[in-house]
Each structure stands twice: as C-alpha cells, then as structure tokens.
C-alpha cells in the first residue's frame, strides 16, 4: 500500500514535462528510503493491531458452533485474546471460523461469504468435519474438508474441539499474523 | 399510503436486480407496490444456518418461505451401513447441546428390537443424565435468545451456569458435550462415587440461581417489550400445525411424552407438565424456565431413588435385531423426538427414520411470521426452539 502511494510511476504521469527529468529518479530513491525506514515498524504496528482485534464472521455451518459459543462465554472468554464475539456485518470481519461440516449446499455460500470479506482475512477450520469430513467422511452430502473451497490458516482438531483447543488455535493464528510480512 | 408510494419509486425500472433483494408487484398506475423479497440467511446476524425468504410489505411480513437443508448430512442413510453400536456417535451429532435427549429413543428402539434387558440402576442414571442435558440445552438456548434480542447479560449468565452442569455430565461420561453415554443395554459406565453428592450440590445451587433469571430477564421491560404479544400461536393452530414441546405447551396444550407414554422410570417420579395459555414469544421463553425447575426436581428424585447394581447388560460384539419394526419416542428438550427403526435380521438396521422436533417447527414458524413485523422476526425465530442442524439431520 505504502509502495503504491510513493511509487514514481504515478508521480511521473502527473508532472510530465513540468519538472526536471531526474526528479522522478530522486522521488523514487526517496520513496525507497522512506519505505525501508517506515515499512518495518509500521508493518509491525499494523500487524499488532490486527492480531488483537480479530472479528469472526457470524457463520455457523454445523454443530461446532455450540463450542464456539461456549468459548465466548464467561468461563473461557476468548475476548481475553482479542477475538470478539461475532454479531455484525461480514464486511467488517477479518476472521472466518468454519464451525464444522460443510455440505454441498453450504459450500458455495461459504465461498461467497469469504469473497465478500475485505483483505486481509484469515480462516480457522474448526472440528474434524471441516478438516477432513470427520464422522461424515462417507456421507453423500458432505465435503471432505474445506481445503477445496477456501484457503485455511489454522486447523483445530476435535469433534467438537473443546473451547481450550479453539483458543489455542486462535493463539496460533495470532503467532502467524505476527510473523507475516505486512502487505 | 403516500410514504409507501415514495419508497416504491426508488426501486422502479427493474434493471438493477440484486439477488436476495427484489421488488415485485405493481399497482394499476404502474407504481411499485413495494413488496420486497429479502433473503435472510444462511449467514445473517439474526439467524442460524438456515434461510428464510421473506416477502415484506413495508414493515409487515407478507410471506415467509423457509429453505432448510444447509446441514443435511445424510444421517439416516449413514445408519444403514453401520451396525447398531457404531451408529451411536454420529446420531448424537445433530443436537450436541442435548446429546442424551437425541440418543435416548434410538437406544430404546435398539433395546426393543434386539431384545436387550436394561438394569434398574441404568434406567435411573439415564433419567438423571437426560434431565441434566435438558437443562444444559435450555440454558444454551436462553443465552442465544437473550443475545439476539440485544440482552448480553442473558448470554453470559446461562453460559456460566451451564458450565456447572456440563461439569456433572463430563464427570459421568468423560466428554463435555458429546457424551455417547447411552448404549443399548444401559449406560456406558457407572457413575463415579463422588457424583451423587456433587450433583446434588450443583443442582441445588442451580435451582436457587434460576430465580435470579426472572429478575434479570423475564421481568426486564426490554425483553417484555419484544416478546409479550408477539407471534401468538393459538391452541388450535398449534395442534393443527404439529407443534411440539415447549411451543405446544406454551399454547395451552398439556402434552408431554414423559406423562403420555412414560419410558424408563418416569412413571415412578413426580413432576408436573408446565403449560401456559398465552402462546406468545414470552410464554415460549417462560415455559422452558419453569421446566428447568421440574428437571432439577426429577434429577434430585432420581438421585434419591437410584438403586445399586450393574449398569450395563453384557452384549455380544455385534447384536442382531429381530425382523420387524419399532417406533420409540421421548420428550427431548425441544419436544417429541421419535425414531422409527426397521430391521431385517442383520447386524445393521434396514432403515432408521428420525422425526425431530426442530423440523416440525418450520411450518409453525412460517405461520407465525406471516403478518408479523420484520423487527419481530428474531423474537419469533428464536422462540421456536428451531435448530437447523437437528432439523436437517
């Protein structure tokens, strides 16, 4: 984002012929220096902001939503880790917890919801069904995992996973965000 | 009328048709009558993974067309290629908040078709676990109902109290929600020695705690404003549309399978069937609360009367059913839950049919939503005790 703003290409279009030729080169070098100086701390700050305010989409796909609800309850309380209970628009969300079985009817909708979320977005596959199909591996209407539908960041095994397991999955995702280079 | 005309003009010229948000119907002078078709779900902040196609005229719902099936996992077909014992884990997945309730009729049916005797102690343990699970479910549902009406405290309190009962169930079975505790011929393992004492303590605490729900939730003007007089289901309609469980009892019909057709040891225990006359959303939320008192009483009585002895009949590795069919029903937390099981003499059932209460609430919901305000939709939806995973099976 920062690179695009400071890139010499956009600058040259506007000031063509009005300024000395080497001005663009100068701006380009200056922007590179700026990006190098600002990118790392700024990226760190933005990543830090992201990882402590993950907003999950309110999307249940099957029974694991029960344990997701319990994780938001007072005993487990995922808000301690910056995962906020999901009751809002998916256009403001950046985390999708696929809570269980994805059926043939639900899969296009899951993809549609994922496409509507703004970047950057992360996906947690919760439960055995979302990972491989789980107990329903031989059912005629169940997808063998959601890997073919959306990219997954963290897999949380269990049937259903205990709330502690889900919290550990969230912490793993935060580790991942922390180490990702800011885009 | 004028306001409606104004609003209708906004959608004129049907080129820009956004799926899920459509205008239809015109007056004689070519103006839009302004009937909107809204798609609520499967991702919606006010509903579960279930789609309602709602036609609204202004603020009033003209028609609601339910579109279930987003979690159809083929449970009934899967039963046909697993044997009787292997069917237990996946048959409780449709409703893991009440996993004992949904497994109960299956176990009863298999016992009848395979002719398995059940020890007396196991019957009492089943009743205790079924009632604890009923409370676990009602609390979860109350919490969800509360938060969808904008009452966050009502999400936190039941969720906290629910954990106490989950502790009990976990102590007995080893799993938080998916117990797989009932097996044909009794229960999987005996209760731990410390269970009766701990259960008594937790249940008594829970019964005292229930009183506070009335102050914080049922007497709350916010909750009453959104539920009293909303979605009134008359007694005749409730019977004709096939409502079950708390929805039916909130309309004044005294029908409880535990009384009508007692199974295990329910005929030896003393409890009342809760009914209310109003039939509105408030009554449908109030009946489960009163029923939780009864559940606690039933569990405490069963703890008192429970004899000692074995808890499980020893079975062969692969029990075979006699040729025939069996129909068993119980009162789960959401209503009447029935299994129809056909056997052709093999170790695997020939056909298993689940009749789940949630699926029976769909026509009732469509009936109640017709003529209601759009803003009352969450209040009606969540008062129906409708759980898509169970309904779709």
Q: Residue A92 is part of a domain; what is its CATH number?
A: 3.40.50.12280
Structure tokens at B362: 């769909």
Is A138 in Cβ contact with B81 (below 8 Å)?
yes
Question: In terms of CA atoms, which chain B residue is nearest residue A101?
Answer: B71
* DSSP letter (8 states) at residue B272: -
Same domain, residue pair A76 and A139: yes
In-domain check, residue A35: yes
Same domain flag for B62 and B108: no
Higher pLDDT, B356 or A86: B356
How high is the pLDDT of residue A159? 85
pLDDT averaged over 10-residue windows placed end to end, chain B, 393 residues: 38 48 54 74 74 84 86 88 88 87 90 88 91 91 85 87 90 88 88 90 90 87 86 88 89 88 87 88 90 91 88 84 88 89 88 89 88 86 86 85
Q: pLDDT per residue over A109-163, tens digit each?
A: 888 888 888 888 889 998 888 888 888 888 888 888 888 889 998 999 888 898 8
Asked whether residue A71 falls in the same domain as residue A43, the answer is no
- Are both A124 and A39 inside the same structural domain? no
Domain enclosing residue B303, as ranges: 75-392
pLDDT at A30 over 70: yes
The alpha carbon dihedral of A44, A46, A49, A50 has a sign of negative
Identify whether residues A88 and A39 lie together within a single domain: no
By residue range, what is the domain housing residue A143? 65-179
A93's tokens: 């969300």
Whether residue B38 is found in the same domain as residue B153: no
**Residue B296: predicted pLDDT:** 92
Closest residue of A to B88, CA-based?
Answer: A135
Burial of A174 (0-12, 13-18, 19+ CB in 10 A): buried
Write down the ipTM of this complex: 0.78
Sort out which chain B residues have CB atoms less than 8 A from A62's CB and list them: 49, 71, 73, 389
| pLDDT confidence tier of residue A95, bands split at 50, 70 and 90 | confident
Q: Which residue of B has its CA nearest to A136?
A: B73
Q: How confident is the model at residue A86 (pLDDT cuts 50, 70, 90)?
A: low
Is there a single domain that holds both residue A83 and residue A143? yes
Do A36 and A120 belong to one domain?
no
H and E: helices and strands count for chain B: 15, 9
Residue B321 near residue B352 (C-beta atoms within 8 A)? no
**A34 compared with B31, residue with greater pLDDT:** A34
Residues A139 and A174 occupy one common structural domain = yes
Q: Determine contact: A115 vs chain B, CB below 8 A.
A: no
Residue at A60 is within a domain? no
* A-to-B residue pairs, Cβ atoms closer than 8 angstroms: 98
Q: Domain check: are B206 and B347 in the same one?
A: yes
Please report, for the domain that includes residue B269, its CATH number.
1.10.645.10
Shortest alpha-carbon distance between residue A164 and chain B (Å)? 12
Give me the pLDDT at residue A181, please.
Answer: 72
Task: Measure in Å the smallest separation between the Cα of A177 and chain B Cα atoms.
Answer: 26
- Say whether A105 and B70 touch across the interface (CB within 8 A): yes
Contact across the interface for B159 and A73, Cβ inside 8 Å: yes
From the list B71, B160, B176, which residue is nearest A73 (CB)?
B160
Residues B17 and B145 in one domain: no
- Within a domain: A100: yes
For the packed helices A163-179 and A22-51, what is the interaxial angle rounded to 10 degrees? 160
For an interface test with B, the pick among A55, A59, A66 (most B C-beta atoms closer than 10 Å) comes out as A66
B18 neighbourhood in chain A, CB within 8 Å: none
Give the pair of three-digit tokens for residue B244. Answer: 């079950």
CB A177 within 8 A of CB A50: yes
Q: Total domain count for chain B?
A: 2
Q: Are residues A44 and A129 in the same domain?
A: no
pLDDT for B12 equals: 45
pLDDT of A62 = 82
Last residue of a domain, one of B67, B98, B119: B67
Task: For chain B, give the mean pLDDT.
Answer: 84
The answer to whether residues A36 and A72 belong to one domain is no
Within a domain: A31: yes
Q: Which of B67, B93, B115 marks a domain boundary?
A: B67
Asked if B105 contacts B328 with a C-beta cutoff of 8 angstroms, the reply is yes
């Amino acid at each position: 984002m920062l690179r695009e703003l400071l890139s010499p290409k956009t600058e040259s279009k506007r000031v063509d012929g009005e300024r000395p030729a080497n001005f663009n080169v100068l701006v380009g070098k200056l922007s590179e220096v700026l990006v190098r100086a600002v990118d790392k701390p700024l990226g760190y700050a933005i990543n830090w902001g992201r990882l402590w305010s993950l907003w999950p989409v309110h999307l249940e796909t099957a029974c694991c939503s029960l344990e997701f609800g319990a994780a938001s309850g007072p005993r487990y309380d995922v808000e301690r880790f910056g995962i906020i209970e999901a009751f809002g628009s998916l256009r403001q969300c950046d985390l999708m917890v696929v809570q269980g079985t994805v059926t043939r009817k639900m899969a296009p909708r899951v993809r549609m919801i994922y496409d509507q979320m703004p970047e950057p977005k992360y996906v947690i596959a919760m439960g055995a069904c979302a990972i491989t199909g789980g107990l329903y591996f031989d059912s005629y209407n169940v997808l063998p995992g959601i890997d073919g539908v959306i990219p997954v960041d963290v897999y949380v095994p269990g049937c259903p996973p205990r709330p502690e397991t889900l919290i550990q999955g969230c912490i793993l995702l935060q580790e991942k965000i922390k180490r990702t280079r800011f885009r | 009328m004028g306001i409606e005309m104004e609003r209708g003009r906004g959608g004129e010229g049907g080129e820009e048709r956004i799926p899920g948000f459509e205008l239809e119907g015109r007056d004689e002078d070519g103006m839009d009558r302004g009937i909107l078709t809204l798609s609520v779900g499967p991702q919606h902040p006010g509903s579960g993974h279930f789609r309602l196609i709602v036609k609204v005229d202004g603020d009033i719902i003209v028609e609601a067309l339910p579109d279930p099936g987003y979690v159809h996992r083929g449970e009934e077909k899967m039963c046909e290629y697993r044997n009787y014992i292997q069917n237990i884990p996946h048959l409780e997945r449709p409703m893991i908040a009440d996993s004992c309730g949904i497994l109960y009729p299956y176990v009863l049916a298999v016992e009848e078709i395979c002719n398995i005797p059940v020890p007396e102690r196991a019957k009492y343990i089943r009743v205790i676990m079924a009632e604890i699970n009923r409370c676990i479910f009602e609390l979860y549902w109350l919490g969800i109902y509360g938060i969808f009406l904008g009452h966050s405290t009502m999400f936190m309190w039941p969720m906290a109290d629910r954990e106490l009962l989950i502790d009990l169930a976990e102590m007995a079975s080893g799993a938080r929600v998916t117990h797989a505790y009932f097996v044909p011929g009794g229960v999987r393992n005996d209760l731990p020695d410390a269970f009766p004492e701990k259960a008594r303590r937790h249940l008594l605490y829970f019964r005292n705690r229930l009183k506070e729900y009335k102050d914080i939730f049922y007497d709350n003007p916010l909750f009453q404003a959104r539920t009293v007089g909303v979605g009134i289901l008359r007694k005749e309609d409730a019977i004709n549309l096939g409502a079950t469980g708390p929805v039916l009892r909130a309309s004044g019909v005294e029908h409880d399978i535990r009384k009508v057709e007692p199974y295990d040891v329910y005929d030896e225990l003393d409890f009342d069937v809760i009914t209310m006359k109003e039939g509105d959303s408030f009554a449908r939320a109030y009946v489960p609360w009163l029923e939780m008192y009864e559940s606690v009483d039933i569990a405490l009585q069963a703890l008192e009367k429970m004899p000692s002895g074995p808890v499980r009949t020893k079975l062969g590795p692969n029990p075979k059913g006699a040729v025939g069919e069996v129909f068993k029903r119980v009162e789960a937390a959401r209503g009447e839950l029935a299994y129809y099981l056909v056997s052709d003499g093999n170790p695997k059932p020939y056909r298993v049919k689940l009749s789940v209460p949630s699926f029976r609430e769909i026509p009732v919901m469509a009936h109640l939503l017709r003529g209601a305000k759009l803003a009352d939709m969450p209040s009606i939806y969540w008062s129906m005790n409708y759980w898509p995973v169970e309904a779709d099976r």
